[in-house]
Amino acid sequence: MKYLIPVLSLLLVACSPSPEKIQAHNLAKRLRAEHAAQYVRKPKPKPCTFEDFIVNPQYRTTPDMWSVAGLKKVYAPDNSYVEILLATQRGRLYVDGKIALDFPICSGRIGGQETPKGSFRISQKSANHRSNRYGSFMSRDRSIVMKGDVSANDKRPANSVFVGAQMPYWLRFNGPIGLHVGTVYRQGASHGCVRVPVEAGVILFEKLSVGSKVIVK
C-alpha cells in the first residue's frame, strides 16, 4: 500500500492536461462560440402582401416564395390550378380562384427544348418518379457515374446502365413534360420540364390532382 499513493499521484500528473492543451482547448471553445454567434438564425421577415412581394426590384431573380397564411392547412385539390410564367420564371398556385403561392421555376432551355405554352391538365402524379429519357450512365452496381446528363438513346459506355434522373413530386401535364422538384436556376435550363424548389413541390403535389389545370404562358 505504501507504493500506491505515489503511483496514483504519478498517474494523475501524467493524465492531467498540460497548460498548453488547456489554453488550446479554451481558445477552440471561444472560436466555436464566436463562429456560432455569426450564424444565429435571424427572425423571419414580417408577412407581406402579394402586391408588396411582386413589386420588389428583385422579384425576377429572387429564389424566395410567397404564400398566403395557413396555406398548408388548406386541402383543395379540386379547386386548385397552377400558372407558369415563362418570362419571369415564376409559378403561381391558385386556390379557390385566388393566388395562394408564388414560387421560382426553371423551365426548358432556349434552342429547341423550351417548355411549350398552352393550357393543359395533369395526367399523372408520382412522388418518386424517374425520367425514362434523361439521366446518367452508371456502373452496373450504380456506384459510379460514368457519364452524366445523357439521353437514354445515347451510346452507352461499356459495362454501364442507364439510370433516369430523379424527378420528385412529379406532375405530368403535357406528354413527356411535367412539373417536378429539381435545381432551379433563374433562367431556362431544363429539357422542357418545369423545375420547382422542394418547398413548392411538396405544396403543389398536395394541392393539385389528376385533372387539375396547368397554364403555361
- Domain 50-216: assigned CATH number: 2.40.440.10
What does the pLDDT read at residue 26?
Answer: 66
Residues 84 and 90: their CA atoms lie apart, in Å, by 6
| Per-residue CA distances from 114 to 87, 105, 195, 207 (Å) | 12, 13, 13, 26
Residue 197 carries which side chain, given as an amino acid letter? P
Q: At residue 17, does pLDDT exceed 60?
A: yes
Q: What is the pLDDT of residues 99-139, one digit of tens each?
A: 999 999 999 988 888 999 999 999 999 988 777 676 677 88
Residue 204: partners with Cβ closer than 8 Å, 6 or more residues away = 82, 93, 101, 169, 171, 179, 196
Residue of 80 and 47 predicted with greater confidence: 80
Average pLDDT, the chain: 82
Q: What is the pLDDT of residues 138-176, one digit of tens each?
A: 888 888 888 777 777 888 888 888 777 778 899 999 999
pTM (2 d.p.): 0.71
Rounded mean pLDDT, 186-212: 92
Q: At residue 16, does pLDDT exceed 80?
A: no
Residues 71 and 100: their CA atoms lie apart, in Å, by 7
